[in-house]
């Protein structure tokens, strides 16, 4: 985001009925830069040209730091839970080999093709970058790269801040795009030039036209020509919105809680600095001569050795003999200040229940209590996965179609018509959000059989109880014919 220089508060919010500013190229670049700086905990540092404007426009303490800032924890959480874990190298359905993206299909040819695209794309690792960028920035872009010179088709992540413009249809399919970013000049490695790639579908045709530029002049970045067409019939790119709120671009996880996070950092920074001042208490010198020159009543100017002197300094005041000492630091109830900050923290964590995940699994929490506590998080993750799974599926369908057109071995029987005809009908299957805990399973099993015992003691036969629990007839008969069941029934006074 080297081009981001200024901050505009209006670009941080959007109205669903007038969202043009929110989606403007400059607005998105600014927003992505700020959101990423929050993730890396540098949002208020002067290393960013816009940080002083952020502090001024929001009325923040000039020495504010990212003390609580949950952006990093959020990014890492979603990176781990959206598509975390290993992929099945065979693109299975997850039943025999666990997979972060289980493939559900009736056509076994799909598995070989998907597995090959994943391998060419290094998707085992790149999928987690996709999750991270989406959660932190709000948007993530998948580009299907056709590389016939290497005999490969693979998925490539494009930073959303490089996407100057997209046009979409009513279903979110991309009809055209413009990528613009700075790259090293192919003809002079000591300078940066502006790379530009324009892709659009010719009206009434399956031809996809590409044009590339260097500093607004046609330039053949991809080979021998700066302009060429491909017969795909679709633009090979997918935009995934992390949180789709009905705009052309998505929301990051931090988007709705930015004001609370700023308030917490502001208050916590002030409190921390007040403690520092109290530890280094000021002195009132009485009965001594003033030092030569003007008495110091303001803070020292910032310097390389002391970039933030106001965090540590309190003006020194001299008084005549007999003067009484008067506190020069305003008294502060630290406990009350902490309670106030903790109250805002509690509100923020109610908005973001995934931030509480690390405290749910500790102590003697029962399996049921853990499941209930995790329910809101599980529901939220499952909702977010919908966009990612759909985006992955569409990108894979495009890649398989293009590879089939090229005639690559793992894609025999597929072609560009496969995508249009719906012959790539597979889906990404359901998977648990949290790993199963064996002790939790034992606890549920015990509760189930305790309920079964209670039911039979009140006159309900075990087979009816098991049918209500949706056991199969074979499973019920195995239990009913078991010698252990016969022994138990005899002990209860029943007839074997």
The mean pLDDT of 248-273, rounded to a whole number, is 94
- Tell whether 36 and 59 lie within a shared domain: yes
Q: What pLDDT is stored for residue 195 in this prediction?
A: 96
Could you tell me the pTM of the whole model?
0.82
Q: CB-based burial of residue 189 (10 Å sphere; 0-12 exposed, 13-18 middle, 19+ buried)?
A: exposed
Same domain? 335 vs 202: no
The reply to whether 379 falls in a domain is no
Q: Mean of the per-residue pLDDT values for the chain?
A: 87
Task: Based on the fold, state whether residues 460 and 356 are members of the same structural domain.
Answer: no
pLDDT tens, 151-174?
999 999 999 999 999 999 988 899
Is residue 377 situated within a structural domain?
A: no
Residues 283 and 215 in one domain: no
Question: What pLDDT is attached to residue 495?
Answer: 45
Distances (CA, A) of 476 to 315, 451, 465, 473: 83, 16, 10, 5
Same domain for 146 and 104: yes
Same domain assignment for residues 201 and 246: no
Identify the weakest region by mean pLDDT among 6-15, 211-220, 307-316: 307-316
Q: Long-range contacts of range 284-287, CB-CB < 8 Å, 24 or more positions apart? A: 284/317, 284/318, 284/319, 284/323, 284/325, 284/326, 284/328, 285/316, 285/317, 285/318, 285/319, 286/318, 286/319, 286/320, 286/321, 286/322, 286/323, 286/325, 287/320, 287/321, 287/322
Q: What percent of the chain shows pLDDT beyond 70? A: 85
The DSSP output letter for 376 is H
Assigned domain for 63 exists: yes
For residues 13 and 22, the answer to whether their CB atoms sit within 8 Å is: yes
Residue 215: band (very low, low, confident or very high) from pLDDT cuts 50, 70, 90:
very high
Quick check: is 376 in a domain? Answer: no
| 205 and 154 co-located in one domain | no
- Do residues 341 and 332 touch, judged by C-beta distance below 8 A? no
Q: Quickly tell me which residue has 């693979």 as its tokens.
A: 154
- Torsion sign (Cα): 303, 304, 310, 312: negative
Query: What is the extent of the structural domain holding 459?
Result: 441-491
Check whether residue 322 and residue 236 sit in a common domain.
no
Residue 440: φ, ψ to 5°: -65, -40
User: Is residue 365 domain-resident?
Assistant: no
Question: How far is 432 from 434, CA to CA, in rounded Å?
Answer: 6
pLDDT at 362 over 80: no
The SS3 assignment for 264 reads helix
| Integer CA distances (angstroms), 289 to 224, 300, 314, 321, 322, in order | 82, 21, 20, 10, 14
User: Which 8-state DSSP code applies to residue 363?
Assistant: T
Mean pLDDT of the 55-65 span: 93
Residue 199 lies in a domain: yes
Tell me which of 9-23, 72-86, 371-385 is least confident. 9-23
Phi, psi dihedrals of residue 108, rounded to the nearest 5°: -65, -15
Domain count along the chain: 4
242 neighbors 250 (Cβ within 8 angstroms) = yes
For residue 396, being part of any structural domain is answered with yes
Give me the pLDDT at residue 202, please: 81
- Name the percent of the chain lying above pLDDT 90: 60
328/463 same-domain check: no
Q: Which of 77, 191, 190, 194 is nearest to 135 (CA)?
A: 77
Regarding whether 447 and 409 lie in a shared domain, the answer is no
SS3 content of the chain, % helix, strand, coil (to 5): 45, 15, 40
- Shared domain check, 113 and 228: yes
pLDDT at position 311, please? 64
Kindly list the distances between the CA atom of residue 283 and the CA atoms of 313, 315, 423, in Å, as whole numbers in the listed order: 12, 9, 82
Residue 438's pLDDT is 65
Question: Residues 6 or more apart from 260 whose CB is under 8 A from it?
Answer: 344, 347, 348, 351
Residues 123 and 242 occupy one common structural domain: yes
């Amino acid at each position: 985001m080297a081009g981001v220089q200024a901050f505009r508060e209006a670009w941080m919010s959007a109205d669903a009925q007038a969202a043009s500013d929110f989606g403007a190229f400059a607005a998105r670049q600014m927003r992505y830069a700020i959101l990423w700086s929050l993730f890396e905990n540098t949002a208020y540092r002067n290393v960013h040209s816009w940080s002083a404007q952020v502090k001024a426009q929001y009325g923040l303490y000039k020495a504010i730091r990212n003390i609580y800032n949950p952006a990093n924890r959020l990014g890492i959480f979603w990176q781990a839970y959206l598509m975390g874990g290993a992929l099945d190298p065979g693109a299975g359905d997850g039943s025999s080999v666990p997979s972060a993206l289980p493939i559900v299909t009736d056509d076994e040819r799909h598995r070989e093709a998907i597995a090959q695209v994943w391998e060419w794309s290094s998707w085992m690792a790149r999928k987690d970058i996709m999750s991270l960028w989406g959660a932190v920035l709000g948007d993530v872009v998948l580009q299907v790269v056709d590389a016939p010179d290497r005999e490969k088709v693979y998925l490539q992540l494009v930073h959303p801040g490089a996407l100057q413009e997209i046009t979409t249809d009513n279903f979110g399919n991309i009809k055209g795009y413009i990528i613009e970013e700075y790259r090293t000049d192919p003809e002079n490695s000591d300078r940066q030039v502006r790379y530009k790639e324009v892709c659009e579908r010719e009206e009434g045709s399956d031809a996809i036209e590409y044009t590339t530029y260097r500093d607004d002049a046609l330039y053949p970045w991809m080979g021998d020509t700066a302009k060429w067409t491909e017969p795909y019939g679709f633009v090979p790119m997918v935009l995934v919105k992390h949180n789709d709120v009905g705009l052309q671009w998505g929301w990051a996880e931090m988007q709705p809680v930015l004001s609370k996070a700023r308030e917490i950092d502001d208050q916590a920074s002030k409190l921390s600095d007040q403690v520092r001042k109290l530890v280094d208490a000021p002195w009132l010198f009485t009965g001594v001569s003033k030092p030569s020159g003007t008495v110091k009543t303001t803070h020292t100017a910032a310097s390389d050795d002391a970039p933030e002197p106001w965090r540590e300094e309190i003006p020194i005041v001299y008084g005549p003999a007999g003067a009484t000492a008067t506190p020069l630091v305003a008294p502060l109830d630290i406990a009350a200040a902490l309670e106030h900050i903790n109250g805002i923290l509690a509100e923020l964590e109610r908005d973001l229940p995934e931030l509480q995940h690390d405290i749910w699994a500790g102590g003697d929490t029962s399996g049921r209590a853990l499941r209930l506590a995790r329910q809101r998080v599980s529901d939220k993750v499952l909702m977010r996965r919908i966009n990612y799974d759909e985006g992955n599926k569409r990108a894979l369908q495009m890649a398989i179609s293009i590879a089939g057109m090229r005639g690559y071995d793992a894609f025999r029987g597929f072609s560009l018509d496969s995508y249009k005809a719906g012959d790539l009908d597979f889906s990404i299957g359901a998977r648990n959000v949290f790993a199963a805990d064996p002790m939790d399973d034992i606890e549920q099993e015990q509760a189930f059989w305790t309920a079964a015992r209670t039911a039979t003691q009140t006159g309900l036969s075990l087979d009816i109880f098991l049918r209500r629990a949706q056991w199969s007839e074979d499973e019920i008969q195995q239990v009913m014919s078991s010698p252990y069941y016969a022994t138990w029934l005899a002990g209860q006074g029943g007839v074997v």
